[in-house]
């Protein structure tokens, strides 16, 4: 439990020390006020049951004298004033409690946003090769669903334990002062009930939490698979299959979540039964002890009042401990991802030591080899080549020979195991990678289109208001897309194209990807099978337009079709990760 507390406190630290301290102070103040509010009931009831006390007790008497100065006459009026004072105190403590719970809720929800954003930042900052081992549905699930769970079942309970723990502590002290034996015996009984239940359910709760975690992962994956492959799902008639898989996991999650929640609530019902009997026996005990009801009344009312506040507090303490157990799996996983995947700080000072990359001369691959993690043979072996500025080069080779891998090394997505990538003599590394990539326009083999307007897809990743529509149109014209947009799309560049371009043909999607690469006005333009879906007439037209940019652009092309590469200055033939020969 202490470990989990540490983990949760380190999560809370993300929100900043100041806010956490404000919250802590609020919680402690709330506890003190609560205790005072409850304590104040005792003298009030004492006076009520025995008005002579006003004269016997020196504090009550000095209060009486004080109010006498303002024209107070009878002891009845004094009791009335005392009643009002108690009421005001209780109201203040309730208002304070409402305020504290408001601050608590806001703290937790803001923390959820902070942690989820940080987790997203951690994931998206990982090197390209990190994603090979990851399932995107798992990452989405962690950011959306697991962070929410650890806030609800990890962070909130810990804050709650602080809050309710302090209140409980205050009230228990009060009860011990009022009647030590009684307090200790009631405390003992309650303690034993809760401790036994907690010990019994602790292990099962962790297991239940883990099952929820596993099924939640499976549920997200099934949805992701089915919804991103609707064409296959329909043709292969897999609809029922996917529905059943989803429903199976979702049902289990409902079951485990319910089990977790019920285990947390269970002792409350046992307690409610015990409570009634307990109240009766406490009253009887106090009566026999003090001999008459009047003397017993102050302590009885204290207990009634304390019980009204204490029992929910104890129940909530227990529930919080149970919830933390339930969240164990998610908590451990998210904590690891938060701390071990922190993006490296790119040191700005070191930046200035680098010459700015302009790319005016050449790209050099010097004896580069690369092996994908977890594979036996290298996908790229001892490749050395030179790509002069404003040249046009092509890679051809059978499928799986390593062409895309070479491109990924040139763009810096993959860093080579041995050998170096140099641009104008500068080695490309962590510090100048972003700068290098800013010069690159890239049309990947697998295109991703977003479910936004055509213009947003061409100016990919930019907010609507930052899109330069003239540049969009210019890029579209070069990609031979403009006529299609004007003549066939209902809203022109503002037409929504559907998720991953479902409303477009393969060739149209490819041309959007080409326009997207051109929008950035790159110095290096890379086409990885970028024209494979175009008919040869359109392909020729696109390539002619691209060739017209040759004054400023270096072109790197991959194609299975030798005809596509006909304008290249040099064609490299790739086989088994090696460059065999070049046709210049």
Ligand X SMILES: Nc1ncnc2c1ncn2[C@@H]1O[C@H](COP(=O)(O)OP(=O)(O)OP(=O)(O)O)[C@@H](O)[C@H]1O
Q: Which stretch binds ligand X (CB under 6 A): 18-26, 399-407, 476-484, 511-519?
A: 399-407
List the structure tokens of 509. Answer: 């999607």
Give the distance, in angstroms, between the CA of residue 166 and the centroid of all CA atoms in the same chain: 30
Give which of 4, 2, 1 is closest to 331, Cα–Cα. 4
For residues 71 and 370, what is the distance between their CA atoms, to the nearest angstrom?
95
Question: Please, which residue, 138 or 499, has the CB nearer to ligand X?
Answer: 138
Neighbour-count burial for 379-417, b at 16+ CB within 10 Å, e otherwise? bbbebebebebebbbbbbbeeebbbbbbbbbbbbbbbbe
Burial of residue 213, with CB atoms counted within 10 A of its CB: 0-12 exposed, 13-18 middle, 19 or more buried:
buried
Asked if 401 is part of the footprint of ligand X (rule: CB under 6 A), the reply reads yes
User: In terms of CB distance, is 403 or 482 closer to ligand X?
Assistant: 403
- The correct pick among 156, 211, 379, 411 for binding ligand X (CB under 6 A) is 379
| Residue 150 C-beta: closest distance to Mg ion, Å | 40
- How far apart are CB 574 and ligand X at their closest, in Å? 6
Minimum CB separation of residue 417 from Mg ion in Å reads 19
Token pair 């596509």 is found at 564
> Under the phi-then-psi rule, with left for phi > 0, alpha for psi from -120 to 50, and beta for the rest, what region is 559?
beta
Q: Can residue 15 be called a binding residue for Mg ion (CB under 5 A)?
A: no
> Which one among 267, 402, 412, 416 touches ligand X, defined by CB under 6 A?
402
* Two structure tokens written together for 581: 């020969």
Closest among 230, 242, 560 to 398, alpha carbons compared = 560
β-pairing, 524-528 vs 440-443, is: parallel
Q: Which of 405, 432, 453, 564 binds ligand X (CB under 6 A)?
A: 405
Torsion of CA 392, 560, 484, 509, to 10 degrees: -110
Residue 78 CB contacts under 8 Å (≥ 6 apart), including other chains? 47, 54, 63, 64, 67, 72
Q: How far is the CB of 439 from Mg ion (least distance, A)?
A: 22
446 binds ligand X (CB under 6 A): no
Q: How far is the CB of 363 from ligand X (least distance, A)?
A: 18
- The distance of closest approach from Cβ of residue 417 to ligand X in the complex, given in angstroms and rounded to an integer, is 13
| CB nearer to Mg ion: pick between 87 and 448 | 448
Asked if 120 touches ligand X (CB under 6 A), the answer is: no
Among 69, 345, 353, 399, binds ligand X (CB under 6 A): 399
- CB nearer to Mg ion: pick between 196 and 445: 445
Closer of 325 and 396 to ligand X (Cβ): 396
Hey, what are 68's tokens?
């006498």
Asked if 404 is part of the footprint of Mg ion (rule: CB under 5 A), the reply reads yes
Query: How far apart (Å, rounded) are the C-alpha atoms in residues 370 and 240?
Result: 43
**Residue 396 in contact with ligand X, rule: CB under 6 A:** no
Q: Residue 132 binds which entry of Mg ion, ligand X, none, with Cβ cut-offs from 5 to 8 Å by kind?
A: ligand X
Q: Which is nearer to Mg ion, 104 or 401 (CB)?
A: 401
**How many residues does this entry show for the chain?**
584
| 372 is a site residue for ligand X (CB under 6 A) | yes
**β-pair type (392-396, 418-423):** unpaired
**Segment 443-462, which members bind Mg ion (CB under 5 A)?**
445
- Chain centroid offset of residue 343 CA: 16
At its nearest, how many Å lie between ligand X and the CB of residue 364?
20
Least separation, in Å, of the C-beta of 351 and ligand X? 30
Out of 288, 292, 375, 487, name the contact with ligand X by CB under 6 A.
375
The item of ligand X, Mg ion, none sharing an interface with residue 401, based on CB under 5 to 8 Å by kind, is ligand X
Q: Is 400 in the site for ligand X (CB under 6 A)?
A: yes
Which secondary-structure segment (H or E) carries 369?
strand 362-370
Task: List the structure tokens of 95.
Answer: 């208002």
When asked if residue 559 is in the footprint of ligand X (CB under 6 A), the reply is no
Q: Which of 125, 247, 281, 445 binds ligand X (CB under 6 A)?
A: 445
Nearest to 568 by CA among 526, 516, 508, 521: 526
Query: By C-beta, is 97 or 396 nearer to ligand X?
Result: 396
Does position 40 bind ligand X by CB under 6 A? no
Name 505's Cβ contacts closer than 8 Å, sequence gap at least 6. 533
Tokens of 485: 């947009």
Which positions touch Mg ion (CB under 5 A)?
404, 445
Judged by the rule CB under 6 A, the positions of this chain that interact with ligand X are 132, 372, 375, 379, 397, 399-405, 445
């Amino acid at each position: 439990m202490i470990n989990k507390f540490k983990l949760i406190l380190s999560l809370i630290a993300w929100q900043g020390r100041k806010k956490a301290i404000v919250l802590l102070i609020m919680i402690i103040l709330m506890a003190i006020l609560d205790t005072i509010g409850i304590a104040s009931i005792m003298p009030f009831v004492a006076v009520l049951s025995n008005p002579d006390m006003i004269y016997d007790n020196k504090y009550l008497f000095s209060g009486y004298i004080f109010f006498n100065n303002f024209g107070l006459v009878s002891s009845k009026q004094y009791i009335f004033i005392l009643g009002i004072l108690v009421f005001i105190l209780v109201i203040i403590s309730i208002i304070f409690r409402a305020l504290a719970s408001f601050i608590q809720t806001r703290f937790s929800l803001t923390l959820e946003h902070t942690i989820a954003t940080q987790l997203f930042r951690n994931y998206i900052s990982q090197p390209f090769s990190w994603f090979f081992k990851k399932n995107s549905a798992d990452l989405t699930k962690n950011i959306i669903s697991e962070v929410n769970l650890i806030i609800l079942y990890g962070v909130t309970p810990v804050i709650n334990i602080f809050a309710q723990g302090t209140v409980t502590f205050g009230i228990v002290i009060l009860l011990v002062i009022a009647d030590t034996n009684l307090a200790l015996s009631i405390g003992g009984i309650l303690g034993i009930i809760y401790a036994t239940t907690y010990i019994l359910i602790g292990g099962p709760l962790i297991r239940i939490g883990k099952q929820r975690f596993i099924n939640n992962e499976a549920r997200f994956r099934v949805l992701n698979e089915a919804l991103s492959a609707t064409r296959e799902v329909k043709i292969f008639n897999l609809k029922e299959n996917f529905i059943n898989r989803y429903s199976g996991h979702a049902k289990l999650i409902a079951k485990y979540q319910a089990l977790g929640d019920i285990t947390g609530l269970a002792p409350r019902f046992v307690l409610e039964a015990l409570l009634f009997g307990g109240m009766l026996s406490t009253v009887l005990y106090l009566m026999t002890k003090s001999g008459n009801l009047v003397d017993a009344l102050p302590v009885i009312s204290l207990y009634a009042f304390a019980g009204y506040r204490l029992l929910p507090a104890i129940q909530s303490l227990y529930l919080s401990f149970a919830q933390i157990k339930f969240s164990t799996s998610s908590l451990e996983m998210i904590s690891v991802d938060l701390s071990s995947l922190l993006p490296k700080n790119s040191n700005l000072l070191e930046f200035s030591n680098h010459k700015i990359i302009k790319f005016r001369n050449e790209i050099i691959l010097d004896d580069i080899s690369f092996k994908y993690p977890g594979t036996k043979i290298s996908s790229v072996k001892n490749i050395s080549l030179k790509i002069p500025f404003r040249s046009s080069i092509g890679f051809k080779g059978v499928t799986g020979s390593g062409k895309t891998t070479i491109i990924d090394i040139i763009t810096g997505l993959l860093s080579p195991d041995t050998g170096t990538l140099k641009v104008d003599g500068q080695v490309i590394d962590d510090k100048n990678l972003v700068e290098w990539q800013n010069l690159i326009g890239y049309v990947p083999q697998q295109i991703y289109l977003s479910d936004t307007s055509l213009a947003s897809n061409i100016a990919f990743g930019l907010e609507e208001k930052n899109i330069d529509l003239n540049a969009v149109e210019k890029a579209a014209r070069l990609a031979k897309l403009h006529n299609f947009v004007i003549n066939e799309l209902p809203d022109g560049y503002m037409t929504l194209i559907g998720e991953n371009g479902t409303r477009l043909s393969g060739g149209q999607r490819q041309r959007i990807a080409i326009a997207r690469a051109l929008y950035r006005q790159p110095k290096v333009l890379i086409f990885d099978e970028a024209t494979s879906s175009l008919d040869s007439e359109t392909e020729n037209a696109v390539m002619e337009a691209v060739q017209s940019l040759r004054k400023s652009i270096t072109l790197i092309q991959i194609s299975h079709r030798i005809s596509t590469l006909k304008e290249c200055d040099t064609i490299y033939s790739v086989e088994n990760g090696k460059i065999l020969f070049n046709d210049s």
